Protein backbone atom coordinates (compact mmCIF):
# COMPACT_ATOMS: atom_id res chain seq x y z
CA UNK A 1 0.00 0.00 0.00
CA UNK A 2 1.47 3.37 -0.99
CA UNK A 3 1.51 6.27 1.44
CA UNK A 4 0.39 9.60 0.08
CA UNK A 5 2.79 12.49 0.42
CA UNK A 6 1.75 15.40 2.58
CA UNK A 7 0.24 18.21 0.49
CA UNK A 8 2.37 21.29 -0.02
CA UNK A 9 1.28 24.29 2.03
CA UNK A 10 0.60 27.65 0.46
CA UNK A 11 3.25 30.27 1.12
CA UNK A 12 2.20 33.09 3.45
CA UNK A 13 1.04 36.43 2.12
CA UNK A 14 4.04 38.75 2.19
CA UNK A 15 5.20 41.30 3.02
CA UNK A 16 3.98 41.56 6.60
CA UNK A 17 3.92 45.10 7.95
CA UNK A 18 4.03 46.14 11.57
CA UNK A 19 4.09 49.63 13.09
CA UNK A 20 7.76 50.14 12.18
CA UNK A 21 8.85 47.13 10.15
CA UNK A 22 8.35 45.21 6.96
CA UNK A 23 8.95 41.43 6.91
CA UNK A 24 9.57 40.08 3.41
CA UNK A 25 11.35 37.29 1.58
CA UNK A 26 15.14 37.44 1.51
CA UNK A 27 16.52 38.74 -1.79
CA UNK A 28 20.00 38.32 -3.36
CA UNK A 29 20.52 42.06 -2.88
CA UNK A 30 20.41 41.53 0.91
CA UNK A 31 23.83 39.84 0.78
CA UNK A 32 25.88 42.85 1.89
CA UNK A 33 23.70 43.67 4.90
CA UNK A 34 23.40 40.05 6.04
CA UNK A 35 27.11 39.52 5.50
CA UNK A 36 27.89 42.53 7.68
CA UNK A 37 26.16 41.22 10.81
CA UNK A 38 26.66 37.49 10.15
CA UNK A 39 30.36 38.16 9.69
CA UNK A 40 30.59 39.66 13.19
CA UNK A 41 32.08 37.28 15.79
CA UNK A 42 30.04 38.86 18.57
CA UNK A 43 26.76 38.43 16.67
CA UNK A 44 27.43 34.76 15.84
CA UNK A 45 28.86 33.92 19.27
CA UNK A 46 25.77 31.92 20.29
CA UNK A 47 24.56 30.91 16.81
CA UNK A 48 24.91 27.42 15.32
CA UNK A 49 27.31 28.75 12.69
CA UNK A 50 30.58 30.71 12.90
CA UNK A 51 31.10 34.17 11.45
CA UNK A 52 30.55 33.85 7.73
CA UNK A 53 33.35 34.23 5.23
CA UNK A 54 32.53 34.89 1.57
CA UNK A 55 32.00 31.22 0.67
CA UNK A 56 29.82 30.50 3.71
CA UNK A 57 27.81 33.66 3.07
CA UNK A 58 27.14 32.55 -0.51
CA UNK A 59 25.83 29.20 0.75
CA UNK A 60 23.70 30.83 3.45
CA UNK A 61 22.22 33.37 1.04
CA UNK A 62 21.28 30.57 -1.34
CA UNK A 63 19.36 28.81 1.44
CA UNK A 64 17.68 31.99 2.71
CA UNK A 65 16.55 33.18 -0.72
CA UNK A 66 15.04 29.76 -1.48
CA UNK A 67 13.21 29.47 1.86
CA UNK A 68 9.82 30.86 0.88
CA UNK A 69 7.29 28.00 1.12
CA UNK A 70 8.01 25.39 3.81
CA UNK A 71 5.67 22.42 4.04
CA UNK A 72 7.46 19.52 5.75
CA UNK A 73 9.86 19.08 8.68
CA UNK A 74 13.31 20.64 8.19
CA UNK A 75 12.02 23.13 5.62
CA UNK A 76 11.93 26.73 6.76
CA UNK A 77 10.66 30.20 5.97
CA UNK A 78 13.27 32.98 5.96
CA UNK A 79 12.22 36.60 6.29
CA UNK A 80 14.26 39.77 5.96
CA UNK A 81 13.33 42.54 8.40
CA UNK A 82 13.39 46.12 7.11
CA UNK A 83 13.14 49.32 9.14
CA UNK A 84 12.78 52.54 7.15
CA UNK A 85 14.19 50.83 4.07
CA UNK A 86 17.23 49.35 5.85
CA UNK A 87 17.65 45.62 6.46
CA UNK A 88 18.15 45.22 10.23
CA UNK A 89 17.97 41.44 10.64
CA UNK A 90 16.42 38.20 9.51
CA UNK A 91 14.03 35.62 10.95
CA UNK A 92 13.52 31.90 10.53
CA UNK A 93 10.52 29.62 11.06
CA UNK A 94 11.59 25.97 10.69
CA UNK A 95 9.14 23.08 10.82
CA UNK A 96 10.36 20.31 13.13
CA UNK A 97 7.61 17.73 13.68
CA UNK A 98 4.13 16.46 12.78
CA UNK A 99 1.81 13.65 13.89
CA UNK A 100 1.98 11.46 10.79
CA UNK A 101 3.56 11.39 7.33
CA UNK A 102 0.60 13.05 5.64
CA UNK A 103 -0.23 15.51 8.42
CA UNK A 104 0.76 19.17 8.19
CA UNK A 105 3.55 20.36 10.49
CA UNK A 106 2.53 20.73 14.13
CA UNK A 107 5.70 22.15 15.69
CA UNK A 108 8.06 24.85 14.46
CA UNK A 109 11.21 26.49 15.75
CA UNK A 110 11.82 30.23 15.72
CA UNK A 111 15.19 31.84 15.10
CA UNK A 112 16.53 35.35 14.58
CA UNK A 113 19.69 37.32 13.88
CA UNK A 114 19.79 41.11 14.14
CA UNK A 115 22.37 43.76 13.44
CA UNK A 116 23.74 45.27 16.66
CA UNK A 117 23.73 48.66 14.91
CA UNK A 118 19.96 48.71 15.30
CA UNK A 119 19.68 47.24 18.79
CA UNK A 120 18.00 48.74 21.82
CA UNK A 121 14.84 49.96 20.08
CA UNK A 122 12.64 46.89 20.32
CA UNK A 123 12.85 46.07 16.62
CA UNK A 124 13.76 42.42 17.21
CA UNK A 125 10.83 42.01 19.61
CA UNK A 126 8.42 43.65 17.16
CA UNK A 127 9.66 41.41 14.34
CA UNK A 128 9.52 38.22 16.44
CA UNK A 129 5.96 39.00 17.56
CA UNK A 130 4.98 39.42 13.92
CA UNK A 131 6.58 36.07 13.10
CA UNK A 132 4.63 34.36 15.91
CA UNK A 133 1.41 35.88 14.57
CA UNK A 134 2.20 34.77 11.02
CA UNK A 135 3.14 31.26 12.20
CA UNK A 136 -0.08 30.62 14.11
CA UNK A 137 -2.38 32.53 11.74
CA UNK A 138 -1.13 30.97 8.50
CA UNK A 139 0.04 27.48 9.50
CA UNK A 140 -1.85 24.76 11.43
CA UNK A 141 0.78 24.72 14.17
CA UNK A 142 0.21 23.48 17.70
CA UNK A 143 3.46 24.74 19.21
CA UNK A 144 6.34 27.15 18.63
CA UNK A 145 9.71 26.73 20.27
CA UNK A 146 13.10 28.40 20.48
CA UNK A 147 16.36 26.74 21.49
CA UNK A 148 19.25 28.91 22.60
CA UNK A 149 22.40 29.07 24.65
CA UNK A 150 21.34 30.19 28.16
CA UNK A 151 24.23 32.69 28.11
CA UNK A 152 22.45 34.48 25.27
CA UNK A 153 20.57 36.76 27.65
CA UNK A 154 19.26 39.06 24.91
CA UNK A 155 17.52 36.19 23.09
CA UNK A 156 16.19 34.75 26.35
CA UNK A 157 14.60 38.11 27.18
CA UNK A 158 13.18 38.35 23.67
CA UNK A 159 11.55 34.93 24.12
CA UNK A 160 9.94 36.11 27.34
CA UNK A 161 8.74 39.37 25.80
CA UNK A 162 6.88 37.51 23.05
CA UNK A 163 5.13 35.28 25.57
CA UNK A 164 7.28 32.15 25.45
CA UNK A 165 7.94 30.17 28.62
CA UNK A 166 11.19 28.61 29.70
CA UNK A 167 10.41 24.90 29.56
CA UNK A 168 13.74 23.26 30.08
CA UNK A 169 17.48 23.57 30.50
CA UNK A 170 19.61 20.70 29.25
CA UNK A 171 23.23 20.48 30.35
CA UNK A 172 26.18 20.17 28.00
CA UNK A 173 24.15 18.84 25.07
CA UNK A 174 25.52 21.10 22.33
CA UNK A 175 29.00 20.58 20.84
CA UNK A 176 30.70 23.93 20.38
CA UNK A 177 33.08 24.68 17.52
CA UNK A 178 36.06 24.73 19.91
CA UNK A 179 35.38 21.19 21.15
CA UNK A 180 33.69 22.22 24.41
CA UNK A 181 30.09 21.56 25.39
CA UNK A 182 27.39 24.14 26.18
CA UNK A 183 23.88 24.01 27.60
CA UNK A 184 20.57 24.58 25.81
CA UNK A 185 17.55 26.51 27.07
CA UNK A 186 14.20 25.58 25.51
CA UNK A 187 11.35 28.10 25.31
CA UNK A 188 7.86 27.27 24.10
CA UNK A 189 4.51 28.81 23.20
CA UNK A 190 1.33 26.80 22.56
CA UNK A 191 -1.38 27.92 20.18
CA UNK A 192 -3.89 28.22 23.04
CA UNK A 193 -1.51 30.63 24.81
CA UNK A 194 -1.10 32.86 21.77
CA UNK A 195 -2.57 36.34 21.84
CA UNK A 196 -2.17 38.09 18.48
CA UNK A 197 -0.12 41.27 18.70
CA UNK A 198 -2.34 43.00 16.15
pLDDT band at 1 (very low <50, low <70, confident <90, very high): very low
Q: Which long-range contacts (CB under 8 A, 24 or more apart) does 175-181 make?
A: 177/50
pLDDT beyond 70 at 154: yes
Query: 37 vs 68, 119, 132, 146, CA distance in Å?
Result: 22, 12, 23, 21
How many Å apart are CA 141 and CA 93, to the nearest integer? Answer: 11
Calculate what percentage of the chain has a pLDDT beyond 70.
96
Calculate what percentage of the chain has a pLDDT beyond 90.
87
Q: What is the mean pLDDT of the chain?
A: 94
181-190 and 21-25 beta bridge pairing: unpaired
Provide the 10 A C-beta neighbour count for residue 83. 18
What's the pLDDT tens digit per position in 74-127? 999 999 999 999 999 999 999 999 877 888 899 999 999 999 999 899 999 999
What's the pLDDT tens digit per position in 97-109? 987 788 889 999 9
Averaged pLDDT for residues 41-49: 93
Domains and CATH numbers, the chain: 16-193 (3.40.630.30)
pLDDT beyond 80 at 4: no
pLDDT band at 198 (very low <50, low <70, confident <90, very high): low
pLDDT of residue 33: 97
How many Å apart are CA 167 and CA 155, to the nearest integer? Answer: 15
pLDDT of residue 19: 97
Enumerate residues 6+ apart whose C-beta is below 8 A from 61: 26, 28, 30, 31, 34
How many Å apart are CA 93 and CA 112, to the nearest integer? Answer: 9
Q: What is the three-class DSSP state of 191?
A: helix
What's the pLDDT tens digit per position in 30-43? 999 999 999 999 99
pLDDT beyond 90 at 146: yes
Averaged pLDDT for residues 31-56: 95
Amino acid sequence: MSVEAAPRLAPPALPVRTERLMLRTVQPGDREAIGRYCGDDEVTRYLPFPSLDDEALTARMSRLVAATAPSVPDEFLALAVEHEGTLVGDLMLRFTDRHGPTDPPAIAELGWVFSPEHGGRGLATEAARALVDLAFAHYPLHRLMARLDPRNVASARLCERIGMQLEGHTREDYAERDGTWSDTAVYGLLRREWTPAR
